Chains A and B, each alone.
Chain A
Amino acid sequence: MKGHVDLLLLSTLRTGPLHGYGVVEKLRGLSEGAFDLAEGTVYPALYRLEAAGLLSSSWTKANGRRRRLYELTSRGRGELARERDEWQAFAHAVEVVVT
């Protein structure tokens, strides 16, 4: 999973903004529990993607608590499209070889 964290995180945010917990929940749901990671380690990657200009974030209030929401920037959408194309080409090539 380590080499594909960026693609996975960007993909979870493609349908709209989420907070860190939401990102982890969505990742777990979509993968049907296949990605078992220490949930807190998602945050450093989110920070890095934000610093790279692929995500933006802002504080909101929910249930009386401060909550940071992350969303894709236009650069992030471009990067997601590029990484997804790369992944699909790679996955297709592997499938052709192994089947």
Chain B
Amino acid sequence: MIEVYLDDLDRELGAVGIRGRLRRRVLAEAEDHLRADDGALERFGTPGEIAGAFAAELGARASRRAAVGAFAALGVAGAVFAVSFVSAQFAGQPPPDTWPLLAQLALVAAIVAPQVSFVAGSLALVRAVRRRELVLPSAELAVINRRTGVALLFGLVTMAALGVLALELRNDSAGWWVALTLIGVAFAMPLLVLAAIPAAGAARLRPRVAGDPGDLFDDLGFGRMAPWRFAGRVALGVGLVVFLAAAVQGDPFDGALNGSAEALACLAGFAAFGRYLSLRR
């Protein structure tokens, strides 16, 4: 009987994403417990119940740690990005419309990807910090894990795009900028990959705890309104900031173009990721 129970527990642990050393430890402790007295098997709980309890207890902590770790790694990547982008204007590069196609594509990626990464990573962190309960609904853990995953993926895309830019523009830019960018990318990318390991581990856990995934307004804690109206206001605000920044520098036409593009990108991001990242229900 005990052997059958342990086989079932082994299968259930696998079904909720508990593997490797942890699974072996759980099984060894369960066997020791079950052999301690004749009635232990009846009192231990069903394999599904025990596996579910492990996934629930470990899931919230794993997702929280992955979100915090990812945000820390993204902070380093963000610093690399900022230094490279700001210093590029002193690197003597030709205007972007004269760049090779691959460099132009990399530039677009280097503008869009960090914004997606920043928003997803910040929202993962906010949810992880706001929800301190020991056990969280499975749907909510999935939201944190997705946000963390998207943040890391787009962080990696950003670093890759910066690397491509540096390589493509190596003959048209100051050597120090190319070196600075490539060294920064080489430093930040492994950190992002390392941060992806606990994120993958957290995503593998599949607890079965009922509950609502929540939305953006649960993260913010205020301002609940129709989601698309909120997205419209954010897009308008971002577009205005971009326009005003350019207008102050004496280029309002360029600012209007970039501001409109930025606002549209905001709305497109909300449409593409809104449900996946639980920005809206």
Contact = CB atoms under 8 A, between A and B. Distances in A.
B44 A40 contact: yes
B251 interface: no
B32 A48 contact: no
A47 B56 CA distance: 12
A40 B32 contact: no
B33 A44 contact: no
A88 B118 CA distance: 45
B57 A47 contact: yes
A70 to B, nearest CB: 10
B50 interface: yes
B31 interface: yes
Interface in A38-92: 38-41, 43-45, 47-48, 51-52, 62, 65-68
B169 interface: no
A30 to B, nearest CB: 17
Contacts of B40: 21, 39
B50 A38 contact: yes
B218 interface: no
B61 A43 contact: no
Interface in B29-43: 29-33, 35-36, 40, 43
A20 B40 CA distance: 12
Given A40-B50, A41-B53, A67 B32 contact: yes
A52 B132 CA distance: 13
Contacts of B35: 65
Interface string A18-46: 01110010000000000000111101110
Interface residues of B, number: 24
Contacts of B58: 44, 47-48, 51
A52 B58 CA distance: 11
B54 A68 contact: no
Contact of B36 (A21, A40, A52): A21
B54 A47 contact: yes
Main secondary structure of the interface of A (DSSP, over half): helix
A19 B57 CA distance: 19
B112 interface: no
Contact of A68 (B28, B45, B61): B28
A94 B50 CA distance: 34
A59 B36 CA distance: 16
B49 interface: yes
A47 B60 CA distance: 13
Most chain A CB within a 10 A radius of its CB, from B28, B35, B36, B53:
B36
B30 to A, nearest CB: 7
A41 B134 CA distance: 14
B275 interface: no
A44 B43 contact: no
B56 A65 contact: no
B53 A68 contact: no
A20 B44 CA distance: 11
B238 interface: no
A58 B175 CA distance: 55
Contacts of A45: 57
B281 interface: no
A66 B28 contact: yes
6 contacts: A38-B43, A38-B49, A39-B43, A44-B53, A44-B57, A47-B54
Interface of A: 19-21, 24, 38-41, 43-45, 47-48, 51-52, 62, 65-68
Given A47-B58, A51-B58, A65-B32, 7 more contacts: A19-B29, A19-B32, A41-B45, A44-B56, A48-B58, A48-B134, A66-B28
